[in-house]
Structure 1
Amino acid sequence: MVVPLLDLPLIHSGKVRELYELPADPQTGTERMLMVATDAVSAYDFVLTPGIPDKGAILTQMSQWWFEQLADLVPNHVLSTTLPAGVTDRVAGRAVVVEKLRMAPVECVARGYLTGSGWAEYQQSRTVCGIPLPDGLVDGDRLPEPIFTPATKAEQGEHDENITYEQMLQVTGPELGEQLRDLTLAIYRRAEGIARERGIILADTKVEFGLRPDGTIVLADEVLTPDSSRFWDAATWQPGERLDSFDKQFLRDWLVHESGWDRAGDQPPPPLPDEVVTATRRRYLDAYARLVGQSFTPTAPTARISPMATVVVDVMPKPEILDPQGKAVTGALTRLGFEGLTVRQGKRFEVQVEGEVTDEVLARIGEAAERLLANTVIEQYVVRVEEQQQ
């Protein structure tokens, strides 16, 4: 049973996102929806528990940043980031008002590197979605040119399946299909260059498009987030050997290799351990900080009353900064037999706040963190509110 987050007509509840009906714009007549990104995380078509704290807000705000970088290439579906009157504070920072569009019936994927399902197909046929590739490539290799590899848009609980461009044209028609391909590759090329300048390899990405009543193609849903893309650390990228990720691949790897879950069986995945949730969240935060150029700060309710709330400031070395203490701990763990664990050593500050935790209070704590708690030349910080158990 789906329990909606808001007291609005629920249009759709997906694995990680909810859509609510809003009245049409009174001036333009544009049909509108409220799109809310939850903290749920999915893998292999299962929604996992628990969620990743702040994930919905991180992805929403990262998408907003990318929409700005792509504004001259393609219009996007966001009408406003100001929430309608009466919408509960619990969706602040993770909800946007968007156009209601007729969605294209395919997933649009661009790949600049060989990995994932593309690597699996390549090992069998030296192709990806029917596109021939050179011999001798290994997992993680950069492709000679980015390629467009569409997929079916499966119902919830079903698997998306890669299809050829020719198969896609049978669904979309030649004119729309060509436009979707060209836009997808243009978005990938722009984003790949931006990410590379910030020390991140954009291996591949999935984008979705909708159409306005006049036929205009609009970029929709989320875009270029750790949920819809593969982000690798450019500093450690070694094709065939090491592909350190800033996305949920870490979580997938835990499910397949360490959790004991049988992917081919009929049982759902086990709950995520705290350390996997924490490590996954940190990867999302690292991706945000590198790409956007500043640390993510959760949006707090405008008036959140608590007898004694705890505000936590997490301080970590910036990803590009050498961390000798973390490196020493990583080496010690390896010697003790804990392979595959990389530690970066940070600091945690707890700030006790009496009464209401408001935007103003959090802004003051953020200023304190900027001036004293973190050395912002080499460190990044996150301010968040922790609920106290009664």
Structure 2
Amino acid sequence: MTDTTPTHLKGQGSAWEVFRIFLRLGLTSFGGPIAHLGYFRTEAVERRKWLDEQEYADLVTLCQFLPGPASSQVGFAIGMHRAGALGALAAFLAFTVPSAVIMVVFAYGAALFTGPVGEGLLNGLKIVAVAIVAQAVLGMARNLTPDKQRASIAAVAAAAALLIPGAFGQITAIALGAIAGYLLCRKSSGATGGVLHFPVKRRVGITSLVIFMTLLLGLPLVVAATGSSSLAVFDAFYRAGALVFGGGHVVLPLLQAGVVDTGWVSDQQFLAGYGVAQAVPGPLFTFAAYLGAISDVGPGGVLGAGVALAAVFLPGFLLLVGVLPFWNVLRQRAWSQAVMSGANAAVVGILAAALYQPVFSTAVTGQGPFALGLVCFVLLIAWKLPPWMVVVVGAAGGVVLALLT
């Protein structure tokens, strides 16, 4: 049954409603940024109809273009669409705080995910991510690649993302998809969904962009002039968040350069925290909380974790708020709709590429993991179980496989 509620009315909600839903996601969303997009799509598009498929894909495309934690930016935008600025803040805090707390606890010495049981649990969570990403690819492909032009764009985008390493491959794929959409999809790209409701005025957007650039260029100068260790920590994590496209694992080399190469954190500490970060729900960017807590420079502890966490997320959110006021004007133009159709198809291809590498290739390492992945996929697709239940099944299955082997 088609939802005929006008989009502007869909935007009327409460911050508490957003907080409750995203808190559950923050406690159960395992699998990294690509899997998070699948969780968000299930809640905001399929279950609650806050956005339609086209609107959600447009958000994903926009956030992939911008530097910062892409999945957290999508969640932030969904919260803003539903309940304004408080909704955006509620979505961010609810989705981020659970994993940040776990990372800070680990920084204080909690021994998590060790031994066969811990390793099996970690492997089971990775297998769950395979099923979740596969569900997202299947659902988005049905809606966003309905003809041969867009299906071909998705296939080429997947090849580009697989053959060109790193975030550059993803950006190249989206750029090629946008160009191909402009050339091939003018007839097939009908009107997009209703105008998204983002209560951000143009002057606020411009101010956000100015703040973003001022901090990016000015923080190193202030640190050099004052010698403040706390500002040095803020600058290092802000720069990492400002210069990474796609978020997730892409940020790790930048964080390593900021805290390991400078001697703030040892390589052993960095790798231990990275292992735990893969096993917790929520955004991988909360790895910054662990690094800020154990850093030899800056306040350290809980305060250091808060400084690092705020700094790594801030630039991506400033950019998103800066762009949103101008987005609806662009997306309603005929040429812009064609470009967006091609870019959306490219996003499907990128998700398909990510399903293979690294999600499938790192999680499915034998017959047992493959069988468990199939079980999780069937539970999601055929049995329609909520993702958190599938997470429990996958985690338990991973422990069983580890004990059997």
- With the shorter chain as reference, the TM-score category is under 0.3
If you compute each CA radius of gyration, which structure gives the higher value, 1 or 2?
1
In the superposition, the TM-score normalised over structure 1's length comes to: 0.22
Q: Return the structure number with greater relative CO, CA threshold 8 A, min gap 6.
A: 2
Higher share in strand: 1
Higher share in helix: 2
